[in-house]
Amino acid sequence: MSIEKKGDCMTCAEKVLIMTGNHAAAYAVKLCDVQVISAYPITPQSPVVEKLMEFVESGEMKAEYVAVESEHSAITVCISASVVGARVFTASCANGLALMHEMLHWAAGTRLPIVMAIPNRAVAAPWNILNDQQDSISQRDTGWMQIYCRNNQEILDTVIQAYRIAETVMAPVMVCYDGYVLSHTLMPVNMPDEKLVREYLPPYRPHTVLDPKSPRNINPVTLADPRMNAEGVLCHGYMELRSLLQKSLLGSVSVVAEAGREFGRIFGREYGIYDSYRTEDADLLMVSIGSLASEAMDTVDNMRAAGMKIGVMHLRLYRPFPAEVIAKAVRETGCRGVAVLEKNVSYGYEGAVCSDLKAALFDHGVDVFAHSYILGLGGRNVSVSDIEEALNRSYGYLEKKGPDRIKGQEWINCRV
């Protein structure tokens, strides 16, 4: 992790280091001048926090590392530190993330800009320490924003953007990346200049600070209807406060877009709401979140070489779901169908991303089929040819009309 040479960035001379996705997340946290870190180690997240402990111990980072006895306590420390005005970070996954579930709602409801890295891992039972995306998808409805990454550079850059987004929207952000597949794979990463990161990310200005000199009650019991507080001010009921959270999240798509554009201006790597590859004249779109969308670029190159018009769309921003942006993008390709490949299941239905995408296409009158494919659960290897197998199955539906286009979900490379 010590090789240094000049990068290819046009606007700045960046060092290129070889590192894992976990260390990319840790370096980003250091660059963001995070003040409080609390986490409980869990495979494959442990190297993120081990690296941060090293930074704190050596004095490279002027931060407080709070060791705790569980993930529930880790997120609670983050909430407390954020309420008193600190920039905070945590990381977790799988059953550890599930243990945080109650407090994830507290963090979002309190409108705290906490950033959490999630090296995605399967949730037990049965026990499994390997990669899929069931953990973060299961936290989809907590009010946290979710951004997915395709490689280690995107992890580093996205953590930096996440603080800017969180502190603008006043909502917490999960930065999700595939456990092991990215968390434990070393690859070249351009390291942004710390002065430029400070220019991109101004110091955190909290909206409400819990301070003994100016006592206040944050999150009192809030009943159904608006009512007067002790000072005679009419305060929102629960529903109004929740409506404001929803409004902020729905309005934050443009904040994410702006954060990605500005990142491009300063660091030479621009980010959008989604990423597309060879979609311009595609008949079929492969849609996914995370590293599958990277692997699929090689699949699509192979299939294009065989004359099949297929493109890849990576839904970088998954919550809030940018329905209008995505529906418009799908319409503009002129494709006739989408195949959604994902490493999660909404048990009893289909892949969660597929359902969300279908709703967006339906609302915006985009008349294409959408097929759900499940791959790579619990660390099952996903090769270029596994993706090709799924895309081939949907490709056969391009000439079908109406209800004939409907096809049930399929599990690829599952030997039951």
Which residues contact other proteins by CB under 8 A? Answer: 2-3, 5, 16-18, 43, 129-131, 151, 178, 180-182, 184-188, 291, 294-295, 297-298, 379, 381-385
* Least Cβ distance, residue 280 to other proteins (angstroms): 19
* Least Cβ distance, residue 178 to other proteins (angstroms): 8
Q: Which is nearer to other proteins, 358 or 380 (CB)?
A: 380
- Does residue 51 sit in helix, strand or coil? helix
Length, in residues, of the chain: 416
Please give the Cα distance from 64 to 121 (Å, whole number). Answer: 27
* Least Cβ distance, residue 260 to other proteins (angstroms): 19
Cα 28–chain centre separation: 15
Q: Which is nearer to other proteins, 5 or 401 (CB)?
A: 5
Q: Which is nearer to other proteins, 47 or 113 (CB)?
A: 47
Token pair 């503009």 is found at 332
Q: Which is nearer to other proteins, 109 or 264 (CB)?
A: 264
* Least Cβ distance, residue 415 to other proteins (angstroms): 17
Q: Which is nearer to other proteins, 186 or 241 (CB)?
A: 186
- Does residue 410 sit in helix, strand or coil? strand
Which residues, listed in sequence order, are joined to residue 373 by a DSSP beta bridge?
341, 410
* Least Cβ distance, residue 130 to other proteins (angstroms): 6
Do 210 and 216 touch, CB atoms closer than 8 A?
yes
* Least Cβ distance, residue 329 to other proteins (angstroms): 21
Q: Which is nearer to other proteins, 218 or 306 (CB)?
A: 306
Q: Which residues contact 31 (CB under 8 A, 6 or more apart)?
A: 160, 192, 194, 197
ω into 126 cis (within 30 of 0):
yes
Residue 123 DSSP symbol: P
Following DSSP, what letter does each residue of 252-271 receive, concatenated?
A: THHHHHHHHHHHHHHHS---
Which two three-digit tokens encode residue 12? 């700045």
Token pair 């270029």 is found at 384
What is the gyration radius of the CA atoms in the chain, in angstroms? 22
Q: Which is nearer to other proteins, 130 or 156 (CB)?
A: 130
Which two three-digit tokens encode residue 391? 């895309």
Q: Which is nearer to other proteins, 154 or 167 (CB)?
A: 154
Do 146 and 136 touch, CB atoms closer than 8 A?
yes
